Amino acid sequence: MAAERVAEDERRKAAEETKRKQKSEEEEKRQRERAKKLAEFEKLKNPPKPNFVITKKSGDGEEEEVEVGKNKKSKQQLEAEKKAILSQRIIPLDTNGMNSSKLTEKAKELLNLIYKLEGEKYDLEKHFKAQQFDMMELAEKARQINKVGYV
């Protein structure tokens, strides 16, 4: 009886120890992935040179295009970045061992997620359009002020 308890306690301790090790390994893995993502984000956040074109007007009215940041990315680089971002955002769906009720539940869960994301998308588009309208109004006000100021 006592030997069984001791054996059971040892099994329990071993199971707890393996759980602790597994949790610590998962936490370390999560931290490494997070550090990797943060490093990638910082890399994208602080590009070496801007990649846009500034159009300047010279005194005689001709337009000159000045290219800033001529380091355009190749198609392969863009494709690799796209794949990396999609692999981070897309959660793999494991349907192995699921019966029909679990599959329907998962489908409903995914449908609700789609509804939520579409709602957020609609709200963001509406907010963006409102901001564009506000910017147009402010630009028009600035033009009116400049016209009045020079008269």
pLDDT one-digit tens code per residue, 92-134? 888 888 899 999 999 999 999 999 999 999 999 999 999 999 9
Report the Cα 62 to chain-centroid distance in Å: 41
| Residue 66, in any domain of the structure | no
Where on the phi/psi map is residue 4: left (φ > 0), alpha (ψ -120 to 50), or beta? alpha
pTM exceeds 0.75: no
Distance CA 113, CA 119 (A): 10
Q: Parallel, antiparallel, or unpaired: how do β-strands 63-68 and 52-57 relate?
A: antiparallel
> How many separate domains does the chain show?
2
Distance CA 115, CA 121 (A): 10
**Low pLDDT (below 50) residues in the chain:** 62-63, 66-69
On whether residue 70 sits in a domain, the answer given is: no
In a domain, 65, yes or no: no
**Domain assignment of residue 111, given as a range:** 100-151
